[in-house]
């Protein structure tokens, strides 16, 4: 039986058959373009669009939870349909992720859609961090650790989830309301106030964030560098914005040919302190007036709420997952901040998977090859007999 | 005496034969009598696409969840939010983003140097309000 693994993120859906090597990354939204009036783009159809300026997103998720089923249905129809996966529903199982503490009404609606409208043969639902920690446990085969602390920093928010023997400790979960969306929006706002109006260019600014932003590992030193002028300032970068006639995608101007490009009519954004002050929000949400702990402090808060015997093991096995962990320097900074925060005698190990974004998908792939998988999932017959209650019993959402 | 004995034996045989026939039929007994084997759920078939589901928005969902009978120690969406930090918030200049030592008493904008200060005083009030809203500091003091 083929199994589809779907890590249904609020911004990017990671999807593929469990036999595939890599998942396909498909924007989990319907996009309208300013220049193309007669059609909408579903998921990665946006690649067909020539002019990506002024894109308008219709997202199925709001603050990390599925609230617009019609849009989600369009994206799912596209994913399962002939253009992407060509799923034969009656012969296919599904592994799908759901947000943490998903609301009952949403969970039930999702189950209904999968079983009754698509008619999948079997379903397994879990949180993305479950798959990430499963992947982690599989990779360290000789010395399996009982505890695992997953930091899932995604598009809508960042969660800290402690796992003990593969079970989520619900009381320990902490949420920080900062994710990739807040970072992109903040970057958009400060650029619009300081340099150039880009409030409508979410897509371009998001690309810019991915290209130039990084997590500072020495904040105060970097703060001093950005004050300097000329050659001494090693942080400043000039980012050339795309105009979608000659330049198809924004890029960083090489520092040495600064004069060569100057005569061309390009729109340039000078990224200086913005490069690291934006991702800094993950560590200090108070910078934008959000009264919450940053990631390292929240980890400390989470772990201190757990039984004392568990605490050193949690610090010894921290796994990063989610798109924000791809920011350069994220792991080092988190390690440094945590090391300063926790007792000296505790071992600290922070693990950044090869690709933090698709880590959960890889975990799902390994899970459906595992012998225990068939006992974990709910089949269509079971669902028809017991309804939602069996899903509530079997899945740990 | 013989006749009733026979009839008794017959009854016993009957009973035996009953039990014999019942055992293989046991799975059919589990077939619940009130279930129509030909029942077809309305959501299956052509009607599927027509089914309209009501999607509540997030505020309604959260409000509905709050009303459920939770125990004080239960972890819910509202209770897992990270608490405020123990460290004081850092202050950065609203204009350049550098660490700011000063706050303009008139506009409440933070600034790091004299050049910035001279610019602040030239800004129109809607821009200063916009700068403050970036760090959610624009709530007017009553």
Average pLDDT, chain A: 89
What's residue A259's pLDDT? 60
Q: Dump pLDDT digits (tens) for A238-247.
A: 999 988 888 8
Per-residue tokens: A307: 């039984």
Is 70 exceeded by the pLDDT of residue A141?
no
| pLDDT of amino acid A38 | 85
Does the structure show a pLDDT above 50 at B20? no
Which chain A residues touch B81 with a CB distance below 8 Å? 174-177, 292
Judged against a pLDDT cut of 60, whether residue B25 lies above it is answered with no
Cβ of A273 and B131 within 8 Å?
A: no
| pLDDT band (50, 70, 90) for residue A158 | very high
Tell which wins on pLDDT, A151 or B50.
Answer: A151
Instruction: Give the lowest-confidence range in A174-183, A196-205, A207-216, B6-15.
Output: B6-15
Among A255, A279, A303, the domain boundary falls at A279
| Average of per-residue pLDDT across A122-134 | 92
The ipTM estimated for the assembled molecules is: 0.79
Residue A205 sits in the same domain as residue A252: yes
Same domain, A96 and A41: yes
- Retrieve residue A301's tokens: 């808060």
pLDDT value at residue A274 = 92
A40 and A97 share a domain? yes
Beta-carbon count within 10 A of B32 CB: 7
Q: What percent of chain A has pLDDT over 90?
A: 57
User: Could you say which of A174, A285, A286 has the minimum Cβ distance to residue B80?
Assistant: A174
Residue A246 lies in a domain: yes
CATH of residue A347 = 3.30.420.40
The pLDDT tens digits of the residues spanning B92-133 come to 999 989 999 999 998 889 999 999 999 998 999 888 888 998
Residues A121 and A34 in one domain: yes
* Shortest Cα distance, chain A CAs vs residue B19, angstroms: 29
pLDDT value of residue A262: 59
Last residue of one domain, picked from the residues A217, A252, A279: A279
Query: Are B90 and A301 in contact (CB < 8 Å)?
Result: no
| B130 contact residues in A (CB cutoff 8 A) | 193
Whether residue B81 and residue A170 make contact (CB cut-off 8 A), yes or no, is: no
Q: Are residues A310 and A332 in the same domain?
A: yes
Among B73, B77, B96, whose Cβ lies nearest the Cβ of A101?
B77
Chain A, window 62-101: residues with a beta carbon less than 8 angstroms from a chain B beta carbon: 62-63, 65, 67-70, 100-101
Same domain, A141 and A224: no
Question: What is the rounded CA–CA span in Å between residue A359 and residue A154?
Answer: 12
Q: What is the pLDDT of residues A187-205, one digit of tens each?
A: 999 999 988 899 888 999 9
Rounded mean pLDDT of A128-138?
Answer: 90
pLDDT band at B40 (very low <50, low <70, confident <90, very high): low
What pLDDT score was predicted for residue A214?
A: 94
- pLDDT of A137 reads 87
CA distance A71 to A48: 19
CB contact, 8 Å: B77 with chain A? yes
**Does A13 score more than 90 pLDDT?**
yes
More confident call, A268 vs A262: A268
Residues A263, A343 within the same domain = no
pLDDT in tens, A282-311: 999 999 988 999 999 999 999 999 999 999
| Cross-strand pairs, A126 | A97
Q: How many Å apart are CA A218 and CA A351, to the nearest integer? A: 20
Across chain A, the runs of DSSP E, i.e. the strands, are 2-8, 12-17, 24-27, 29-32, 41-42, 56-59, 61-62, 65-66, 92-97, 122-126, 147-153, 158-164, 167-168, 174-176, 237-240, 251-252, 268-271, 318-321, 350-351, 378-379
A238 located within any domain = yes
Give the domain CATH number at A266. 3.90.640.10
Taking residues B27-48, what's their average pLDDT? 61
Quick check: is A273 in a domain?
yes
- Interface contact flag, A69 B76, Cβ < 8 Å: no
Domain region containing A363: 2-127+358-394
> Which DSSP symbol is given to B89?
P
Q: Is the same domain home to A212 and A247?
A: yes
Residues within 8 A of B (CB atoms), A 206-265 only: 223, 226-227
> How many whole angstroms from its chain centre is CA A371?
28
* Same-domain status, A209 and A274: yes
The answer to whether position A91 is within a domain reads: yes
Q: Report the mean per-residue pLDDT for chain B.
A: 75
| A26: nearest Cα among A367, A325, A358 | A358
Inter-chain CB pairs, A–B, below 8 Å: 116
Name the residue facing A103 among B51, B65, B90 (closest C-beta).
B65
Strand partners, A159: A152, A175
**In chain B, pLDDT over 90 holds for what percent of residues?**
16
Is it the case that residue B13 has pLDDT exceeding 60? no
Instruction: Work out how many domains chain A is built from and give that number.
Output: 3
A153 in any annotated domain? yes
So what's the pLDDT on residue B19? 47
Listed by number, the residues of chain B in 6-45 with a beta carbon closer than 8 Å to a beta carbon of chain A are 41, 43-44
Instruction: Give A298-356 pLDDT, tens digit per residue.
Output: 999 999 999 999 999 999 999 999 999 999 999 999 999 999 999 999 999 999 998 99
Mean per-residue pLDDT, A272-282: 93
What confidence tens digit (pLDDT) does each residue in A25-59 have? 999 999 998 888 888 899 888 888 888 888 899 99
Which residues have C-beta within 8 Å of that of residue B89, sequence separation ≥ 6?
Answer: A284, A286, A287, A289
Residue A50 has a pLDDT of: 84
* Residue after which a domain boundary falls, among A226, A253, A279: A279
Same domain for A306 and A166? yes
| A172 shares a domain with A295 | yes
Q: Does residue A366 sit in the same domain as residue A301?
A: no
Structural domain contains residue A284: no
Q: Percentage of chain A with pLDDT > 70? A: 97
Tell me whether residue A285 is in a domain. no
DSSP state of A118: S
Is B123 exposed, middle or buried (CB count within 10 Å of its CB: 0-12, 13-18, 19+)? middle
Is beta strand A318-321 parallel, antiparallel or unpaired with respect to A350-351? parallel
Is A242 in a helix, a strand, or coil?
Answer: coil
């Amino acid at each position: 039986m083929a199994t589809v693994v779907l890590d249904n993120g609020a911004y990017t859906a990671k999807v593929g058959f469990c036999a595939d090597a890599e998942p396909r990354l498909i924007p989990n939204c319907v996009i309208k373009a300013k220049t193309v009036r007669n059609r909408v783009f579903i998921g990665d159809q946006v690649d067909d669009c020539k002019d990506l300026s002024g894109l308008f997103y219709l997202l199925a998720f709001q603050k990390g939870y599925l609230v617009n089923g019609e849009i989600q249905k369009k994206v799912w129809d596209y994913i399962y349909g002939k253009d992407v996966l060509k799923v034969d529903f009656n012969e296919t199982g599904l592994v799908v992720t759901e947000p943490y503490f998903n609301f009952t009404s949403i969970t039930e609606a999702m189950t209904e859609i999968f079983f009754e409208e698509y008619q999948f043969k079997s379903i397994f639902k879990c949180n993305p961090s479950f798959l990430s920690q499963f992947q982690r446990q599989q990779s360290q085969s000789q010395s399996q650790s009982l505890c695992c602390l997953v930091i899932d920093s995604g598009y809508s928010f960042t969660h800290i989830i402690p796992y003990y023997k593969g079970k989520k400790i619900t009381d320990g979960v902490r949420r920080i309301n900062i994710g990739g969306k807040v970072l992109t929006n903040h970057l958009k706002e400060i650029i619009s106030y300081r340099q150039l109006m880009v409030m409508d260019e979410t897509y371009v600014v998001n690309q810019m964030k991915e290209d130039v932003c990084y997590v500072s590992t020495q904040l105060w030193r970097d703060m001093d560098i950005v004050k300097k002028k000329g050659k001494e300032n090693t942080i400043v970068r000039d980012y050339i914005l795309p105009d979608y006639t000659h330049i198809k995608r924004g890029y960083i101007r090489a520092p040495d040919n600064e004069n060569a490009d100057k005569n061309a009519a390009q729109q340039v954004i000078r990224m200086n302190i913005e490069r690291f002050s934006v991702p800094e929000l993950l560590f200090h949400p108070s910078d934008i007036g959000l009264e919450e702990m940053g990631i390292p402090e929240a980890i400390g808060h989470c772990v201190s709420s757990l039984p004392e015997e568990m605490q050193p093991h949690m610090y010894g096995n921290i796994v990063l997952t989610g798109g924000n962990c791809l920011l350069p320097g994220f792991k080092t900074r988190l390690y440094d901040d945590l090391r300063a925060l926790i007792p000296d005698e505790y071992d600290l190990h922070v693990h950044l998977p090869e690709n933090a974004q698709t880590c959960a998908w890889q975990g799902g792939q390994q899970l459906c090859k595992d012998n225990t998988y068939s006992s974990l999932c709910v089949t269509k017959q079971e669902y028809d007999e017991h309804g939602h209650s069996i899903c509530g019993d079997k899945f740990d959402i | 005496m013989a006749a009733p004995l026979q009839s008794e034996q017959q009854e016993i045989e009957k009973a035996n034969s009953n039990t014999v026939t019942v055992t293989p039929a046991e799975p059919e007994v589990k077939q619940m009598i009130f279930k129509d084997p030909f029942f077809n759920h309305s959501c299956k078939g052509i009607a599927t696409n027509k089914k309209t589901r009501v999607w509540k928005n997030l505020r309604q969902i959260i409000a509905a969840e709050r009303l459920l009978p939770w125990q004080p120690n239960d972890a819910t969406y509202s209770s897992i939010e990270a608490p405020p930090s123990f460290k004081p918030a850092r202050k950065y200049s609203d204009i350049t983003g550098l660490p700011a030592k000063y706050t303009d008493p008139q506009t409440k904008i933070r600034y790091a140097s004299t050049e910035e200060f001279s610019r602040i005083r030239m800004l129109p009030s809607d821009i200063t309000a916009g700068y403050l809203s970036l760090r959610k500091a624009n709530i007017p003091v009553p």
